[in-house]
Amino acid sequence: MTARRRALELVPLGLVVALSLLGASMASEPAGRLAPARAWCAPSAERLLGCGEAGVDLTSLVCTAELRAVVLAVIVALVGFLVGTPLGAAAALARGRVEQAVARACDLVQAFPTFILALAVLSAVRAPSRVHIGAVFALTAWAPFARLALAQTRVLRSAAFVEAAVALGRGRSGILAHHILPNLLGVVAVQLGSTAAAVVVSEAALGFVGFGPRDGVSLGGVLDQGVVAMLRAPHVLIVGAAAVFVASAALLAAGRAVR
């Protein structure tokens, strides 16, 4: 992939962040501020995206929620990458029971839906915040990275340069750091975009069913408002759905560029 193409694939994410920052900073009022007199008003020159339930300014609400969702998704994906990649690579290099144990752990984590786990954990929290949501997602985000690293290391451990390092008496940690990880990062990094996009969608789904942040500033909250007023204010649902799609698509594109 050329440098120019990588840069182009980072452009959508840069635009999402820039426009979200611009929209949030230029909004006439903070996200979530209520003004019942203008509830469900259509988009206008004064309020570009219109208003939602109880008169919240959708421009301020969506831009702030979009920015927070992207930041949360990037953090969770990086945590999963930094934990899962070395874990999977080290397990495959160790072979035997360690390799089997990590593989079974990945199977167990990926077999249980993260969304159900999030519902179970957040239902026990009196006032869920994005810290709680991010922590729940991070508990399972490492598994796909570990599985990819495990599979790739099984191939690399039989490569000639690894066998040469073993013959020269290099330790396992040295082989892992200097020969295995540098050669599998490109493959595993592809998962960054997919994981981040999944976090955006999952966070919106939690907000939609009422388990989002208690401040109500979430893309799922916008979708919930849109469904309630689908006929009288269709712009709310359209804006919420478009925001989720744009954020997830931009993160997927950025994931390909990172590779």
**pLDDT at residue 259, as a whole number:** 67
Residue that wins the pLDDT comparison between 34 and 249: 249
- Sketch the domain layout of the chain as residue ranges: 3-23+51-258
Domain 3-23+51-258 grouped into CATH 1.10.3720.10: yes
pLDDT confidence tier of residue 25, bands split at 50, 70 and 90? confident
pLDDT tens sequence across 30-70? 776 777 777 888 888 778 888 888 778 888 899 999 999 99
User: Residue 16 to residues 86, 97, 151, 204: CA-CA distances in angstroms?
Assistant: 31, 45, 34, 17
Q: Which two tokens stand for residue 206?
A: 């939690």
Q: Distance between CA 45 and CA 136 in Å, rounded?
A: 40
Let me know if 195 is exposed, middle or buried by CB neighbors in 10 A (0-12, 13-18, 19+): buried
The answer to whether the CB of 31 falls within 8 A of the CB of 65 is yes
Q: Interior CA angle at 103 toward 100 and 108, to 5°?
A: 120
pLDDT tens sequence across 126-148? 888 889 999 999 999 999 999 99
Minimal CA–CA distance to 92: which of 141, 177, 155?
155
169: left (phi over 0), alpha (psi -120 to 50) or beta: left
pTM: 0.89
